[in-house]
Amino acid sequence: MALIDIKVPNIGDFENVEIIEILVEEDQDINKGDSIITLESDKSSVEVPSSHTGKIKKINVKVGDKVSEGDLILKIESIKAESLNYEDEKINISKEAITSTEKIEITSKVKHQTTNLKSVLASPKVRKFARELGTDINKISGTEKFGRVTEDDVKSFIKLGLNQQQSIINTEKTQDTKIKIEYEYSDFGEIDIKDIPRIKKLAAPHLVNSINTIPHVTHHDEIDITEMEEFRNSLIDHYTGDKLKITPLAFIMKALVAALKKFPSFNSSIEDMKDGKITYKKYFHIGIAVDTPNGLMVPKIREVDKKNIQHLSAELREVAQKCRDLKIDKKEFYGGSMTISSLGGIGGSFFTPIINYPEVAILGVSKSNKKQILLGDQFKIRTILPISLSYDHRIIDGAEAARFCNEIRDNLGKNFAFKLAI
């Protein structure tokens, strides 16, 4: 089989630049488009892709060599007679990008696919480190001069960025499949174009990530809360003699936490099925979805197990107000066990809440209503609360979800007086 020369393509400003890394070895099979060497100029670095698929027979360069366009990099025994024609495939390098942001974007259109390579500054050791951890170094913002990426940057990216990275990937996926509307809305009447509120924009990738990565199932149930409501409505402030203003949500939080204690898999998180690990939380911090003029926020009410209903109710009001006044600290949005999304004060019966990733379940609560129920052989008027539990079917089975809902029902019903009294 004939040997094919793989040469340095025309990549703009990279004349007589140093090879800082050889990314392949002799006898290695590579695909067209795989990175083979890294070049670094004063201000930027770029990975050079192979123009052919095949087996590497000889590498003609070494780290430290200076190369320019047309210099031989390696010889390959081609498997297929397909090549990446750098001229025809439109490789655009923006010099402006190099000088102003120390970044290069090479756009290479291959078989209708677009590959975006953003080059960043990093030492070979750091590049190797990122590669070994399966991380695309080009997605990392470096903290050193000229945005150079350090080993610590790679570690922080992996630690903090896993969810975000996944969100971005998933958002890109959905954007790829976006259907282009082939008409103008204004063709059909008057319109108004406004900015999407910032909080909705921030939340969007998380919602898309959750729905794309978690196989959601929603279990609906109806809970008889007649006795709980009688009890709630009977609560009086001992000092003033006034009726206490406590909404059903404080009771539901307590009932949920009692159920979480019995069903620890609902108080867990999985970040990556591939690593086969699940984190069980021993704390009980409940996220509450709060409707604000700026969009939905989900602060956590910490240690619900250790607080009484009156305390929880007051904290809930305070935290919701902080969200609405945009005075809530960002850290209050992290570290939850499970979330409750209550539309009870608004209306509707049943909905399909989206799990607040990386949690594994969310409890949707709708508005309770008085209903005629057959109890024994008699119809009685009872107060019925509709609930909707969305759960991650990778970890939780339908039967477990049904048992979990039964437990919540019992905690709001027959167990209520013993476990949840103030």
Least distance from ligand CAO to the Cβ atom of residue 341, Å: 4
Active site residue 216: no
Least distance from ligand CAO to the Cβ atom of residue 366, Å: 6
Residue 210 or 342 with smaller CB distance to ligand CAO: 342
CA nearest 5: which of 63, 78, 69? 78
CA nearest 126: which of 136, 111, 115, 114? 136
First-last CA distance in the chain: 83
User: CB under 8 Å to 139, separation ≥6 — which residues?
Assistant: 118, 157, 165
Interstrand relation of 29-30 and 52-59 (parallel, antiparallel or unpaired): antiparallel
Q: Which residue is nearest to ligand CAO (CB)?
A: 344
Based on the number of CB atoms within 10 Å of its own CB, is 177 exposed (0-12), middle (13-18) or buried (19 or more)?
exposed
Residue 304 or 365 with smaller CB distance to ligand CAO: 365
Residue 77 or 410 with smaller CB distance to ligand CAO: 410
CA–CA distances in Å: residue 196 to residues 199, 294, 297: 9, 10, 15
Residue 124 or 295 with smaller CB distance to ligand CAO: 295
Q: DSSP code of 271?
A: S
Q: Could you give the maximum distance between any two Cα atoms of the chain, in Å? A: 95
Residue 122 or 252 with smaller CB distance to ligand CAO: 252
Least distance from ligand CAO to the Cβ atom of residue 347, Å: 9
Please pick, among 216, 220, 311, 393, the residue that the annotation labels catalytic: 393
Q: What is the CA radius of gyration of the chain?
A: 29
CA nearest 373: which of 247, 220, 225, 232? 225
- 3-state SS, residue 262: helix
Least distance from ligand CAO to the Cβ atom of residue 290, Å: 4
Based on the number of CB atoms within 10 Å of its own CB, is 17 exposed (0-12), middle (13-18) or buried (19 or more)?
buried
Contact footprint for ligand CAO (CB under 6 A) = 247-249, 288-291, 296, 316, 320, 341-345, 353, 365, 367-368, 385
Long-range contacts of 298-301 (CB under 8 A, 24+ apart): 298/333, 298/336, 298/339, 298/356, 299/323, 299/328, 299/332, 299/333, 300/332, 300/333, 300/334, 300/335, 300/336, 301/253
Residue 142 or 287 with smaller CB distance to ligand CAO: 287
Q: How many other CB atoms are found less than 10 A from the CB of residue 43?
A: 15
Residue 76 or 363 with smaller CB distance to ligand CAO: 363
Amino acid at 53: T
Q: Is the CB of residue 221 less than 8 Å from the CB of residue 365? A: no
Least distance from ligand CAO to the Cβ atom of residue 397, Å: 24
Least distance from ligand CAO to the Cβ atom of residue 415, Å: 19
Least distance from ligand CAO to the Cβ atom of residue 177, Å: 23
Which residues are the active-site residues? 393
